[in-house]
């Protein structure tokens, strides 16, 4: 199968290989992740909780003797063979990627316990928390466009490799000390089990409704075009400094409003062009949504021509108050999508 796939791909482009296509999942790990000697890792402190166990920060001594800061995810004791496989699947997916806006895998520890996944350390943690902490502190041009550009560039790389993320959201983007944003969260079971935002649909799938394209909710049509829909939601999260999409509306109401053509309004101080880009990502027909490459180009043009960002979508604070406290149906708070 791979011979066939690589034969039809253009030279230079690579396709992502799903770990489940390996008969022996340990072979996928050996192919895509470097085994790290546990004695070169120094764990320093706990920084989070993952689906399979703690996430810690620490240091890794490279073969060159240079030390780097790393994040260390470990698999808690008492796991089943399937849990071990699912835990390590994240490493065999991440290990296939090499891009400045995708979280970098340093390697894995599988020969001794606990089993660990070592990645680059992202000092500022997840993007949603970071934005809430720095509410209102950045200018659109300096940082927000830069963050959005980085995420779009990472997503272009993934879509070029035919990888569909399915759970693109600010909580799954990590931020480093230079404010570079990187896409993370590549586990196989994660969309189904790990994400607290994921809710069961009538068909039994578990999906983060507010971030997910209608066709993916309705019939599980997950594609790079459904990732684009989620990307539009991430843009909205970034500009609104980590506001919850659709506020406190219920998932059912969100699904209904989207189906009726309503879309999220522009956040406060959002340039018209950026809100228009979001609305393009939220086209009902997935073939009409932009591609990640186009998004990167559009953002680059805006960065080069900051005057294009001057016209703001809501010029009156009163509108914003309506938006924050109102519901989706409030007059002029939510634009019906163009049919």
CB of 300 to ligand AMP, least distance (A): 27
Catalytic residue among 37, 135, 160, 167: 167
**Residue 185 near ligand AMP by CB under 6 A:** yes
CB of 152 to ligand AMP, least distance (A): 20
d(CA 203, CA 206): 9
User: Could you tell me the sign of the dihedral formed by the alpha carbons of 115, 182, 134, 239, in that order?
Assistant: negative
Site for ligand AMP in 63-102 (CB under 6 A): 71
CB of 174 to ligand AMP, least distance (A): 5
Starting from the edge strand earliest in sequence, which strands make up the sheet with 41-49, in order? Answer: 41-49, 54-61, 67-74, 116-120, 105-109
Half-sphere exposure of residue 94, counting CA atoms within 13 Å on the CB side? 27
227 is in an annotated binding site: no
d(CA 164, CA 277): 21
Residue with Cβ nearer ligand AMP (71 or 323): 71
- Segment interacting with ligand AMP, rule: CB under 6 A, options 32-40, 118-126, 244-252, 262-270: 118-126
Phi/psi at 89 (nearest 5 deg)?
-60, -30
Number of amino acids touching ligand AMP (CB under 6 A): 15
Residue with Cβ nearer ligand AMP (94 or 299): 94
Measured between its terminal Cα atoms, the distance across the chain in Å is: 41
Cα 251 to Cα 194, 197, 257, 258, distances in angstroms: 18, 10, 10, 11
CB of 3 to ligand AMP, least distance (A): 34
**Residue 126 near ligand AMP by CB under 6 A:** yes
Q: Helix 145-160 crosses helix 292-304 at what angle (to 10 degrees)?
A: 150
> Does the active-site annotation cover 300?
no
Which stretches of the chain bind ligand AMP, using CB under 6 A?
Answer: 47-48, 50-51, 55, 71, 103, 119, 121-122, 125-126, 174, 184-185
**Which residues form the catalytic set?**
167
């Amino acid at each position: 199968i791979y011979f066939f796939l690589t034969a039809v791909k253009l030279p230079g482009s690579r396709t992502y290989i799903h770990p489940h296509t390996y008969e022996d999942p340990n072979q996928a790990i050996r192919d895509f992740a470097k085994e790290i000697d546990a004695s070169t890792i120094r764990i320093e402190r706990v920084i989070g909780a993952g689906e399979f166990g703690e996430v810690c920060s620490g240091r890794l001594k490279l073969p060159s003797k240079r030390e780097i800061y790393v994040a260390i995810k470990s698999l808690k004791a008492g796991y089943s063979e399937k849990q071990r496989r699912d835990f390590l699947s994240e490493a065999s997916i991440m290990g296939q990627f090499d891009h400045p806006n995708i979280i970098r895998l340093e390697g894995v520890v599988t020969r001794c316990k606990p089993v660990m996944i070592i990645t680059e350390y992202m000092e500022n943690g997840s993007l949603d928390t970071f934005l809430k902490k720095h509410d209102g502190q950045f200018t659109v041009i300096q940082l927000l466009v830069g963050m959005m550009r980085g995420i779009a560039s990472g997503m272009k790389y993934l879509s070029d490799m035919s990888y569909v993320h399915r759970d693109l959201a600010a909580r799954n983007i990590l931020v480093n000390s230079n404010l570079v944003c990187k896409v993370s969260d590549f586990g196989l079971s994660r969309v189904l089990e790990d994400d607290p935002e994921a809710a069961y649909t009538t068909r039994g799938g578990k999906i983060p409704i507010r971030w997910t394209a209608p066709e993916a909710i309705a019939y599980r049509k997950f594609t790079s075009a459904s990732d684009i829909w989620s990307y539009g939601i991430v843009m909205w999260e970034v500009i609104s400094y980590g506001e919850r999409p659709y506020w406190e509306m219920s998932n059912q109401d969100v699904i209904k409003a989207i189906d009726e053509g309503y879309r999220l309004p522009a956040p406060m101080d959002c340039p018209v062009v950026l809100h228009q880009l979001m609305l393009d990502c939220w086209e009902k027909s997935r073939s009409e949504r932009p591609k990640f490459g186009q998004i990167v180009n559009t953002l680059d043009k805006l960065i080069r021509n900051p005057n294009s960002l001057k016209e703001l979508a809501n010029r009156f604070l009163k509108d914003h108050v309506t938006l924050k406290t109102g519901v989706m149906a409030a007059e002029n708070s939510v634009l019906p999508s163009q049919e």
